[in-house]
Structure 1
Amino acid sequence: MTTAVESTVRDHYPTREGDQTTVSDRQDPVVHDWNADGPLDIQALKRYEATGYLTIDQLISDEELHLFRQELRRLARDPAAKSDEATIVEAKSDEVRSIFDIHRSNKIFQKIANDPRVVKRAEQLLGSKVYIHQSRINYKPGFVGKDFWWHSDFETWHAEDGMPTPRAVSVSISLTDNYSFNGPLMIMPGSHKKYIGCAGGTPEDNYKKSLVMQGAGTPDQYTLTDFADQFGVDVLEGPAGGAVMFDSNCMHASNGNVTPYSRSNVFIVYNSVENTPVEPFAAAAPRPEFAGSTDFTPAG
């Protein structure tokens, strides 16, 4: 186990410093390894560089999908899992919203988090070995699954975990079909090349509220409208067993689910081992280990 070091890194992405939202250009590359001999060909790399995301029609087998779904249901009914600090429940329905740290707490999901099908793609995009900064299962059950408001993950990981640059990629593996109407991922393509510094500070223990309903670190509506007008919004439909890989600085969100059809996924964040967190840039203390890992052992 390693621990975060004292921050001596210059902050190129200031946020939560005042009462005004700021927008600036990204200071770092999007793709760090353009080697077409990797699992992603040059066309895929160009799409990722331009839009900030890639879709994979089928990442896991039908057998794996069945196994993952069984484990998804088991964990949702497990009283020990539900009472754990790493489990987040919906504010009103008390249904499970997310279970964090599943790459360490669960052998089934640990295996896919370290699988070459995922890890090698992340290594190519980030140009280095990678470690798992965060992992979780997201449940969005039918009728009661709530929304995730527009945000950049990197802004939170930078402000509250001390991640220096957006050299990280998230992988969302679909365990249910993603329709346009059951709260799928929405991304503003190209937004990853701009950085939004949010207004306001970071409340103490902000994670206890933000993991249920975001507050600090969310852009204002004026800026979001400007981004939507500039970049548009892509709604990422797709079958169970597929996946989306997206840049940590993409502006993204998902609607609540008022349909009978649940929308659940395995969410794994890979960060470059050359981009390990320091002290938080806009918080008094780092979030708990389950939300931002300080174990930088390479995945795979």
Structure 2
Amino acid sequence: MQDLYPSRLNEEKIIPRVDKTVYSKKQQGEYSLNNIELDEYEKNGFITFPNIFKEDEIQQMIQEIDLMADNDDLIKNEEFICEPTSNKLRTIFNQHLFSTLFEKLSKDPRILNKVKQLLGSDVYIHHSRINIKPAYQGKSFPWHSDFETWHTEDGLPNCRCLSAWVMLNDNTEFNGPLYLIPNSHKKYVSCKGKTPEDNYKKSLKKQEYGVPSLKAIEQLVKDSNIVGAYGKAGTLVIHDGNIMHGSCDNISPFSRTNAFFVFNSVENIPTKPFGAKSNRASFLALDDYEPMKSN
């Protein structure tokens, strides 16, 4: 299969995106996007929906995370990742497989109607994760395109994928929010450097490969800017798989926790990795391609 997005090579390049951003405008249910929202997503590569989830729903999710984090058997699993410099929990992968509450959330029509519309097909979960930035100790995530990793290390052929995530705390300018570069999803940064064996074991704590240079980031913001994904708990954000994003350390006294679901089109099933000798661990690229149905 032709590699449309070569990366992890001898030099860094910025190449045009080949794939669509919005695959369909056809309504997929009550919670589909309207034309104005579709145009915003097409232009910027992300869109934010305040007040999608109610306070009691958010509290149930937070309590569920606390239960998982306090389960001595669960936290032994490789899906539970700690901070690079402490034993504080950084990420829980595939929460929808450990929790019926998050499994139900993954099929919520408030999310799934929008996702199926944008990707223009049935979808499955490539993986899910809960990103936690503890107050005063949560570490940064460098600038990166998720799709660059999913393509080079997981074998997703095309960028027909996205992340839909729910803010479980208020995300402010102080507690390590996600930063995005609008319109950067239309360019692909082919990163420099050969992928090490089992790169994911280090990259989940501190990513070093698939990270663009300062020069590339300067080029991406030249005709754009940097924005923060700020919002109250209960806000839903959807961002394209290739948008350039990152986040800073959380040095505030306020924790920041977000629940992510990575959706991929059933017409974009992974093949062999395009820029690594072997696939990442199976929990990072789930192989249940059964089309998801809304609750």
Normalising by structure 2, what TM-score? 0.96
Cross-structure match for 1:170:
163
Which residue does the alignment assign to 1:28? 19
CA distance in 2, matches of 1:88, 1:230: 36
Deviations 1:212-248, CA, capped at 9 Å, x for gaps: 0001100111111221233210111100011110000
Q: Which residue of 2 aligns with 1:299?
A: 292
SS at match of 2:143: strand
2:187 maps to 1:187? no
Q: Give the structure 2 partner of residue 13 of structure 1.
A: 5
C-alpha distance in 2 between matches for 1:66 and 1:231: 36
The number of residue pairs the alignment matches comes to: 291
TM-superposed deviation, 1:37: 7.0
In structure 1, what is the Cα distance between the partners aligned to 2:213 and 2:41? 26
Q: Give 1:211's match in structure 2, choosing from 204, 209, 218.
A: 204
Are 1:133 and 2:126 an aligned pair? Answer: yes
Contact 1:82 1:96 in 2 (8 A): no
The alignment status of 1:123 with 2:138, answered yes or no, reads: no
CA distance in 2, matches of 1:30, 1:143: 36
In structure 2, how many angstroms separate the alpha carbons of the residues matched to 1:269 and 1:221?
A: 27
Match of residue 73 from structure 1: 66
Amino acid of the structure 1 residue aligned with 2:5: Y
Secondary structure of 1:79's match? coil
Instruction: Give the match's secondary structure for 1:75.
Output: helix
The question of 1:108 aligning with 2:101 is answered yes
How far the C-alpha of 1:290 sits from its partner, in A, is 1.1
Specify the alignment match of 1:228 in structure 2.
221
Shift, 1:289, TM fit = 1.6
TM-score (norm 1): 0.95
CA shift, 1:209, in A, is 0.3
Q: Which sections of structure 1, spanning at least 5 residues, go unmatched?
A: 1-8
Match of 1:63 in 2: 56
Q: Is the 8 A contact 1:30 1:49 kept in 2?
A: yes
Matched letter for residue 124 of structure 1: Q
One-letter amino acid matched to 2:163: S
**1:173–1:267 CA contact under 8 A, matched in 2:** yes
Percent identity reads 42
Q: Which residue of 1 aligns with 2:33?
A: 40
1:75: how far off?
A: 2.0
Pairwise CA RMSD of aligned residues?
A: 1.1
For the 8 Å contact 2:119–2:161, the answer to whether it is kept is yes
Q: Deviations over 1:102-144 (max 9, x none)?
A: 1112111111011121111100000000000010111111011
Deviation at 1:61, TM superposition (A): 2.1
> Hey, what's the Cα distance between the residues in 1 that align with 2:163 and 2:252?
26
Give 3-state SS (helix, strand or coil) of 1:173's partner.
strand
Question: Residues 41-69 of structure 1, C-alpha deviation per residue, up to 9 Å, x if partnerless?
Answer: 00000000000001010222222111001
The one-letter code sitting in structure 2 at the alignment partner of 1:11 is D
CA distance in structure 1 between the aligned counterparts of 2:157 and 2:224, rounded to whole angstroms = 25
Measure, in 2, the Cα distance between the counterparts of 1:54 and 1:299: 22
- 1:139-189 deviation line (CA, Å, top 9, x unaligned): 111011000110000000000000001100101100000011111111000
